[in-house]
Structure 1
Amino acid sequence: MQNKLPSHIEYVIIGGGIIGLSIAYHLTRLGHRDVLLLERDQLTCGTTWHAAGLVTQLRANENMAKLAQYSAELFRDLEQLTGQPTGFRQSGSITIAATNARIEELRRGSSMGRSFGLDVEMIDAAEAKRRVPLLDVSDVLGAAWIASDGMTNPIDTARAFAAGARQGGANILERTPVNRIMVDKGCLVGVETAEGLVRTEKAVICTGLWSRNVAADLNWTVPLYAAEHFYVVTEAVPGLPADLPTIRDMDAAVYAKPDAGKLLFGFFESRAKPWGMDGVPRNFSFESLPEDFDHIEPYLAAAIERIPILADVGLQLNFNGPESFTPDNRFLLGPAPDIAGLYVATGFNSCGIESSGGAGKVMAEWMSTGMPAGDYWEMDVRRAMPFQRNRRYLYDRTTEAVGNLWNLHWPHKSPKTARNVRVSPLHDRLSRAGANFGEVAGWERVQWFGEPGSQPVTHATFGKDEWFRQSGVEHAAARSDVALFDQTSFAHLLVQGRDALTLLQRLSSNDVDVPIGRIVYTPWLNARGGMESDVTICRTGDEEYLVVTAAVQRIRDLAWLRLNSKEAGHVTIADVSSGYVTLSVMGPRSRELLSRISPADYSDDAFPFATAREIEIGYGLALAFRMTFVGELGWELHIPAEQALGIYDAIVAAGDDLNLRQAGYIALNTLRLEAGYRDWGSDVSDEDTPLESGLGFTVAWDKKSDFIGRAALENQRGQTPRRRVVQFAVPGNAPLMFGTEPVWRDGTLVGYLRSAGFGHTIGCGVGMGYLNAASGVSAQWLKDGEFEVEIGGFRHAAVASLRPFYDAGRTRVKGERLDLDSLVAPELRAWR
């Protein structure tokens, strides 16, 4: 073995399941020959060997769908490319709906799939029965049919990746466990095995069930946990069609597929069984877990109701094997935040086979170039918060995570388990006021307020129910009077030192060389001009800046700062987020409210927009930013955490006769959509430039210092973008929009909405998304076209604009109190 192990290699892949093998294959396809894959036992011995092998392509968002779409296309050709059969068959899939809510979700999902280039057909119960005669459709309301879906043999497909990787020059060593990943001064330097040390600067952890512990040894959070996962295989079924499609009954949490003349049934039960509390044994290979018929019996009974012939067929195999699940049911891909050269690809939530081709391609490109080829933030491991490697948290969340894959994906839905991990000091006050909380990055954040003492819920529906009415009242308060938002989940990063300005100027497209007390909104760009983040930076001293960013971006932005500070000279970076509570007071009466409890001068002359002042308020002090994300006069108050309760109580008491309304994040979202404010992660990402995003005002072309991404922006400067953010309004009584709805121009699909909501001020649905046009997306191109937005399979006439539909001149932000109707875009007033 010693002579097989190189002393130095360019790429090391740790783990020989289908994901690691796919990465090895795709690295060689990129022309890399210096590739080593190390497997502790035998290839596929962890989870791959017992996977069901479904290949389904309709996922939660575009980029996750693209991984599965690419995989399906690759599987079709993989045998020809490698010489190794895979068993792949494109026999289609059918997903049936037996409830009104499920059929609504399927219709919306089918529209979303079309916007991603996936052919999804909605069919009725009779057509479902015609295509799959063994189904009982007596209670079926409809179904989704995807002809390009299918199934593959997981072991054979993994072997094909291995064969292709070897043909491309990769070295694959079995029975060579990695005992230690070696890091020096924040950089990967090698991996240690029993056979010797391998020096490397790039490695990826693909260790599946073991990944949490492998990363935790490096003080890195890769949050996943194993759960027992069950399926059964029947005896031979007489007359079973050879081309039977995959069947999914998500309401019953059951799927079925043909298996050599038999039927395989699997389950995504509502309360799962986490496994391996003390860690997965290092020698666990090709092993199954004990049967638990009592656990799966209710789901098997539901399967028999859906496919009655099962009642007359015996079971040949009752299988139970572990699979890993993440707290939010999304993959974990990408770089370690604080270890240069180390990556991970794991946490595939029972979707690893169908995503393996796409995930391998993405990771090979990411490792090869240092940045992802597209926007994979939904799957980026840097969204994980440090606390999420806590095993009790993961255990409790995993009981729910398995079922959440197929449970109804209601708008604004949050998990029910492992909650209240991160709470604002105001949490109890907000709860008594009727708050309905959602979870983001572990934070409990108010979605909307019900009546005080009302029973909270964990999601909104697709319809205009109580959540819609209550958040609408909150929205109206911010426009007409004053609203109070708790935004304590903001991350606060303190950048100090004599070279702090140099660092931030290098990162920021805007000019942050401003006087003390000034605030700058700026993107941070990557080399291709995409927005790695967008942040608010307040200069608080000669050599001190406070960077404020969103909760989900905290680890990512910290990593970006630290990565770029290595060559910046004398700079210190501190995460001071836990020291602050942020309260936002927004609306035309915000100045009046704050003046009642604070002696500060809030006039335009004394406190202009984009400035910060330390103010006395209540009995305490706060750093007040005159900023807004809702398009109204307002202030963000960044308050020392220990003073927050008193200041909050003072604000609430002083606002009683000003019609003060406490508000949540649904209202915040609908307000910002009307006003045209972008949300990073939804409307802008690391593949979107400021010029494509309509944020050209954040690029300081004339600032003296250079910034990352400028060269890429120069190539777009002065051009009409072929891809650009456009705002949409859908007048009339259309269903509610939540994002991912396709956009049509003159009958041609030209894009989809990145985010959407209901504009209570403009009186209709509103959203924004990127459109594509070879001639350029200009105001004239918009004017010359007829636009429609597709919602749940039906198209609705829409208005397209490059300008916000509410107060495009930002008069309200400046403190002017013009009539609300006069601020609605003229093209919308014409529809009224």
Structure 2
Amino acid sequence: MSALPESTEALVIGGGVIGTSVAAQLAEAGVGTVLLERGTLGSGASGSTANVVRTYFPGDARTGALAVRSTQAYHAFTDRTGTPLGLERVGFMVLFTEEHQVAEFRRDQAAQEAAGVDVRLVTAAEAARLNPLLDERSIVAAAWSPEAYSCDPAAIVRGYAAAAQEAGAVVRTETPVTGIDPDGRVHTPSGSILAGTVICAAGPWSGTVAALAGVRLPVAPEPIELLLTDPPAEPVTTLPMTLHPSSLRIRTWRDRILVGMGRPRPDESREAWLRRVSEQLGATYPALAGIRLHRGWSGSLDASPDGSAFIGRDPSRPFVYAAGFSGQGLCQAPAAGEIVRDLLLGKPSWTDTAGLSTDRCSPAAQPPMTS
């Protein structure tokens, strides 16, 4: 491997969907760009997902706006990069078991629609038609959003990385960052490089990377595990990704069902958690009652305190961050890359970026205590 360049206009740390999107869009805009990845491309949070991009995020229309724009970019991705993503519409459904959840949906729907999100309320019977495994007696209604697609995250990373390199970016894997000086000099085992701007897109390691630069980024790694069932007794067709208020989510995965439901509580063993997942699975989807659950894959997410991403610039250092996507980076990567690109170019963004920076987590941004 050749030595690192002595300097670069922009240095992106992290080779997942966010980092490669940022690198590609910066390089295509004529910005000298270097990307450093500590392992292999896409080996972090980008490889620990359910492989679905969606536009509806309950109670979070701002994330929905980023996801709508990103979904549009994914539809054009093959023409742009030559890399097919295998997009297949599956839809996304959120189940409601209490009337107050329906009321919350109605209060949020106008904001979602203003953000371009296609979502509507459906009856329990309609929900059961969309997901035939569902026991409609276990819910009162559901939110249905057709704009959700299965995809190949590894292809997204490959496509963006190839586009970045074609536009002149330097991409280095197996190159962890060991230090970041106040002037933007970045140190690695392969040498150091002076960056006009350092961009942190390191997923679960973003908080650690930011700390190397003396920046407080309130992002922490959060373990996640996805499970796979045995093949159901009756083969199932493609099901929508379906989210239950318990946090149970399912989707079809070849001849099996992919299952997620958080992680064990601090005082809960993995075996007890698996029993809890199995009980909830059987109660919501009777055809899956008692079906065996197996470890699918596990990893870590870059979790923010409120579950929404941070995109912004440190006021005192040449340091930009795009992190804290809390498992939804796949759904927002193209739009996040555009925001970072425009930030570096000093151009107005396509969206109002107020509220994306870490300022929203500062003590001054918190609501006052009331008695």
Question: After TM superposition, is the score higher than 0.5?
Answer: yes
For 1:576-615, list aligned pairs within 5 A: none
Q: Distance in 2 between matches of 1:381 and 1:55?
A: 25
CA offset digits 1:463-507 (Å, max 9, x no partner):
xxxxxxxxxxxxxxxxxxxxxxxxxxxxxxxxxxxxxxxxxxxxx
Confirm or deny: 8 A CA contact 1:150 1:246 kept in the other structure. Answer: no
- The answer as to 2:220 corresponding to 1:225 is yes
SS at match of 2:7: coil
Higher relative contact order (CA 8 A, sep 6+): 2
SS at match of 1:378: coil
For 1:98-497, list aligned pairs within 5 A: 98-184=97-183, 188=184, 190-237=185-232, 238-242=234-238, 244-249=239-244, 251-268=245-262, 272=265, 292-311=270-289, 313-339=291-317, 341-369=318-346, 372-385=349-362, 441=365, 445-447=368-370, 449=371
SS at match of 1:215: helix
2:331 counterpart letter in structure 1: E
Q: Distance in 1 between matches of 2:168 and 2:365?
A: 41
Confirm or deny: 8 A CA contact 1:337 1:382 kept in the other structure. Answer: no
Confirm or deny: 8 A CA contact 2:252 2:258 kept in the other structure. Answer: yes
Confirm or deny: 8 A CA contact 1:7 1:197 kept in the other structure. Answer: yes
Unaligned runs of 5+ in 1: 275-290, 386-421, 423-439, 450-832
2:369 counterpart letter in structure 1: V
Confirm or deny: 8 A CA contact 2:281 2:289 kept in the other structure. Answer: no
1:191 counterpart letter in structure 2: V
How far off is 1:377 after superposition? 2.5
1:267 counterpart letter in structure 2: M
SS at match of 1:337: coil
Q: 1:272/1:362 Cα in 2 relative to 1: closer, same or farther (>3 Å)?
A: farther
Confirm or deny: 8 A CA contact 1:232 1:315 kept in the other structure. Answer: yes
Map of 1:41 onto structure 2: 39
Q: 1:272/1:221 Cα in 2 relative to 1: closer, same or farther (>3 Å)?
A: farther
How far off is 1:53 after superposition? 2.3
Q: Distance in 2 between matches of 1:362 and 1:300?
A: 41
How far off is 1:333 after superposition? 1.2
Q: Distance in 1 between matches of 2:361 and 2:347?
A: 20
User: Normalised by the size of structure 2, how large is the TM-score?
Assistant: 0.91
Q: Distance in 1 between matches of 2:207 and 2:266?
A: 18
Map of 1:19 onto structure 2: 18
Q: 1:119/1:373 Cα in 2 relative to 1: closer, same or farther (>3 Å)?
A: closer
For 1:640-789, list aligned pairs within 5 A: none
2:47 counterpart letter in structure 1: W
Q: Distance in 1 between matches of 2:120 and 2:42?
A: 35
Q: 1:297/1:359 Cα in 2 relative to 1: closer, same or farther (>3 Å)?
A: farther
CA offset digits 1:355-396 (Å, max 9, x no partner):
1121112112112226644322222123343xxxxxxxxxxx
Q: Distance in 2 between matches of 1:318 and 1:43?
A: 21
CA offset digits 1:260-303 (Å, max 9, x no partner):
2211111136x7559xxxxxxxxxxxxxxxx9232243133112
SS at match of 2:217: coil
CA offset digits 1:212-238 (Å, max 9, x no partner):
222223332101222221221112234
Q: Distance in 2 between matches of 1:78 and 1:370?
A: 23
CA offset digits 1:235-274 (Å, max 9, x no partner):
22342113x211111x2211111112211111136x7559
SS at match of 1:376: coil
Map of 1:83 onto structure 2: 82
Confirm or deny: 8 A CA contact 2:68 2:116 kept in the other structure. Answer: no
Q: CA RMSD in A?
A: 2.3
Q: Distance in 2 between matches of 1:294 and 1:322?
A: 21
How far off is 1:58 after superposition? 2.2
1:221 counterpart letter in structure 2: R
SS at match of 1:364: helix
Q: Distance in 2 between matches of 1:177 and 1:446?
A: 43
Q: Distance in 2 between matches of 1:47 and 1:22?
A: 15
SS at match of 2:259: strand
Q: Distance in 2 between matches of 1:217 and 1:136?
A: 51
Q: Distance in 1 between matches of 2:116 and 2:202?
A: 32
How far off is 1:99 after superposition? 0.5
Q: Distance in 2 between matches of 1:296 and 1:361?
A: 40
Unaligned runs of 5+ in 2: none
Map of 1:689 onto structure 2: none
Confirm or deny: 8 A CA contact 2:360 2:366 kept in the other structure. Answer: no
Which stretch of structure 1 is more off in the superposition, 313-322 or 356-365?
A: 313-322
Confirm or deny: 8 A CA contact 2:44 2:299 kept in the other structure. Answer: no
Q: Distance in 1 between matches of 2:118 and 2:204?
A: 34
2:254 counterpart letter in structure 1: A
Q: Distance in 2 between matches of 1:102 and 1:156?
A: 36
2:152 counterpart letter in structure 1: N
Q: 1:228/1:61 Cα in 2 relative to 1: closer, same or farther (>3 Å)?
A: closer
1:368 counterpart letter in structure 2: L
SS at match of 2:193: strand
Bigger radius of gyration: 1
Confirm or deny: 8 A CA contact 1:182 1:191 kept in the other structure. Answer: yes
CA offset digits 1:741-775 (Å, max 9, x no partner):
xxxxxxxxxxxxxxxxxxxxxxxxxxxxxxxxxxx
Return structure 1 stretches of 4+ with deviation > 6 angstroms. none
Q: Distance in 2 between matches of 1:255 and 1:49?
A: 18
How far off is 1:69 after superposition? 0.7
Aligned length: 368
Q: 1:368/1:41 Cα in 2 relative to 1: closer, same or farther (>3 Å)?
A: same
SS at match of 1:230: strand
Map of 2:51 onto structure 1: 53
Q: Distance in 1 between matches of 2:349 and 2:181?
A: 24
Q: Distance in 2 between matches of 1:109 and 1:231?
A: 29
How far off is 1:62 after superposition? 4.3
Q: 1:293/1:356 Cα in 2 relative to 1: closer, same or farther (>3 Å)?
A: farther
Q: Distance in 2 between matches of 1:256 and 1:27?
A: 36
Confirm or deny: 8 A CA contact 1:19 1:359 kept in the other structure. Answer: yes
SS at match of 2:71: helix
Q: Distance in 2 between matches of 1:236 and 1:203?
A: 47
Q: Distance in 1 between matches of 2:170 and 2:64?
A: 31
Confirm or deny: 8 A CA contact 2:25 2:338 kept in the other structure. Answer: yes
Identity %: 25
Q: Distance in 2 between matches of 1:104 and 1:300?
A: 29
How far off is 1:109 after superposition? 2.7
Map of 1:776 onto structure 2: none
Q: 1:150/1:179 Cα in 2 relative to 1: closer, same or farther (>3 Å)?
A: same
Q: Distance in 2 between matches of 1:273 and 1:154?
A: 31
Q: 1:174/1:226 Cα in 2 relative to 1: closer, same or farther (>3 Å)?
A: same
User: Normalised by the size of structure 1, how large is the TM-score?
Assistant: 0.42
Confirm or deny: 8 A CA contact 1:37 1:171 kept in the other structure. Answer: yes
Confirm or deny: 8 A CA contact 2:11 2:35 kept in the other structure. Answer: yes
SS at match of 2:87: coil
